Structures are given as structure tokens and as C-alpha cells.
Amino acid sequence: MTSPMIYLLQQTTIITTNTTMKVLIIFALLCVALSARAAAVPVESDAVAVEEPKSAPEQAVEVEAPAAEEKLSDAPEAENEAVEEVAAAALEAKAARRFCPDGWFSYQSKCYMFVNTPRSWFQAEEHCNELGASLASAGSSPEYRYLQQITRTANRATAWIGGFYLQGNWMWIDRSGMYYTNWYSQSTATSNSCMYLQSAVGQGWRNCGCGGQLPFICVHNYRC
């Protein structure tokens, strides 16, 4: 038979155990509730953080895209212009090599050579003939200035050209018409019947005796 003291202790233990279980259950429920609430807050903040960046990159792309496209469209045009210039220069150089022999200068569909060895006018013309050319004529002011430039490049002040006097008329040895004249001064034509240029800027041609020794310029047309 159980004593009252033992019975009281048993009842106290049961009550304590039940109370402890209730406290644990309440604590567990409270923890679950707090955890659920805490977990709900980050989900909302993450949703905001994910949604905000979406529009920003799209706007940046829309603004910058036209500039990028413009740069890309300009680049081929600049490259094409550079290529065209190089191609044109190459074609011009190729044409000069094709139509003018080595040592000759190309100008307005003609080939020119400056011969630095002084000769008489007749000897100079004969030398040009041996090269398939004749003494140079000047049919225009630009052409005469070009002949002056060739002569200056050779560090010469004068050079024979193809003008000569015959039977009261000045003419060119290559039989082209003398429609352009550029006399600096003129001596008596009957005794000074051969023409030479002066390379100084602004100075025209003059005439002297054909036996004088001067360098000279030969010319011939382009040859295919």
C-alpha cells in the first residue's frame, strides 16, 4: 500500500512533467511562428531587388545603341575613302610605269626626260630622236611651268626646248602649233634661231645661237 508521501511526490512529478511539456510545446510553436515571419520578410525584399535592375539595363541599352550603330556605320565609310585614295594613287603610279619608260617623268599624257649633259640644239634634238622623242614644246602656261620645274629639280638655270625660227616664223620641232608664247626677251631671230627656257619663276623663254651648249628636255607621248 502506497504511503501518502510517496503518492504526493508522484502527483507532483506528473504535474511538473505536464507543465514542462506544455512550456516546450508553446516555445516550439512560438519559434515556428517567428521563423515563418522572419522568412516572409526577405522574400519581399528579394522580389524588389530582382525587379528593380531589370528596367535599368534595358534603358541603358536603348540609349547607347544608336551611338554604337552610328560609329559602326561611319567606320566603313572612312575605310572606304582611305582605300579609294590608295587605289587611285596606285593606279596613277601604275599608269606612269606602263606608259613612260624608267627615268622619264609623266605629265598630261606625255613622258619627259631631262638630259643634264650640255649639247648644241641640233645635237640635243638628235639625241631625243634616238630615244624616240623630240625636244619639248610648251603649248600652255602650265606645261611651260612644268618644264621649268624639271629644270630647277636638276639645279639648272636654262635648258633647250624645241622652238626654232625658220623662214620668218617661230615653230616647234614636234610640229605642234605655236599658239602660246611666253617671251622673256627676244634677240635677232635670224642669227639666234633656237629657243631655251629659263627656270626661274616668272621668267619666259629666250632665243640664242643654236651652237650653244645647254642641257635639254626630251618629250614623247604615252606609249601603250
What per-residue confidence (pLDDT) applies to 202? 95
Strand ranges for 120-201 from DSSP E: 134-135, 158-166, 169-172, 194-198
Q: What is the CATH number of the domain that holds 117?
A: 3.10.100.10
Instruction: State the average pLDDT for the chain.
Output: 76
Amino acid identity at 97: R
Residues 121, 23 share a domain: no
**Segments forming the whole domain that contains residue 21:** 1-70
Residue 40 lies in a domain: yes
C-alpha cell at 124: 640635243
Q: Helices (DSSP H) in 100-157: which residue ranges?
A: 121-130, 141-153
Which of 13-17, 144-148, 189-193 bottoms out in mean pLDDT, i.e. has the lowest?
13-17
Among 23, 55, 70, give the residue marking a domain's end: 70
The model's pTM is 0.58
Helix (H) or strand (E) holding 16: helix 4-99
User: Domain tally for the chain?
Assistant: 2
Among 20-34, 61-75, 136-150, which stretch is predicted with the lowest mean pLDDT?
61-75
